[in-house]
Amino acid sequence: MEAVQRKPVQVDLSLEDAIRGRRSVHYFAPGARVRDDQWAKLFELTALSPSSFNFQPWDFVVVDDQARKEQLLPLCWGQKQVVDSAAVVAVLGDKNPHRRDAQVLQQFQDNGYIDEQTRNAYMGAVDVVYPDEARKIEHAVGGASLAAMTFMLAAHGMGLATLPMIGFDPVGVRALLKVPDEYLITMLIAVGESADRDLPRQQRRPYDDIVHWEVFGGSRKTVYLESAS
Ligand X SMILES: Cc1cc2nc3c(=O)[nH]c(=O)nc-3n(C[C@H](O)[C@H](O)[C@H](O)COP(=O)(O)O)c2cc1C
Q: Which amino acid is at 125?
A: A
Please list every residue from 78 through 97 that binds ligand X, using CB under 6 A: 79
In the complex with ligand X, the residue whose CB is nearer, 92 or 126, is 92
Whole-number minimum distance, CB 7 to ligand X, in Å?
13
Whole-number minimum distance, CB 170 to ligand X, in Å?
12
Q: How far apart are CA 205 and CA 207, in angstroms?
A: 7
Please list every residue from 151 through 210 that binds ligand X, using CB under 6 A: 163-167, 187, 201-202
Q: What is the DSSP string of 101-120?
A: HHHHHHHHHHTTSS-HHHHH
Classify residue 71 as exposed, middle or buried by CB count within 10 Å of its CB (0-12, 13-18, 19+): middle
Choose one: 1-9, 23-31, 56-64, 129-137; the region binding ligand X (CB under 6 A): 23-31
Distance of CA 32 to the CA centre of its chain: 22
* 3-state SS class at 130: coil
In the complex with ligand X, the residue whose CB is nearer, 103 or 203, is 203
Nearest CA among 77, 82, 53, 52 for reference residue 67: 82
* Residue 24 touching ligand X (CB under 6 A): yes
Whole-number minimum distance, CB 144 to ligand X, in Å?
11
Whole-number minimum distance, CB 87 to ligand X, in Å?
16
Please list every residue from 97 through 156 that binds ligand X, using CB under 6 A: none
> Percentage helix, strand, coil, to 5, in the chain?
45, 15, 40
Q: How far apart are CA 76 and CA 90, in angstroms?
A: 12
Query: By rule CB under 6 A, what string of x and - marks binding of each residue 47-66 to ligand X?
Result: --------------------
Choose one: 5-13, 21-29, 90-98, 129-137; the region binding ligand X (CB under 6 A): 21-29
* 3-state SS class at 63: strand
Number of residues that bind ligand X (CB under 6 A): 12
Q: How far apart are CA 190 and CA 86, in angstroms?
A: 7
The residues of the shown chain that bind ligand X, judged by CB under 6 A, are: 23-24, 26, 79, 163-167, 187, 201-202
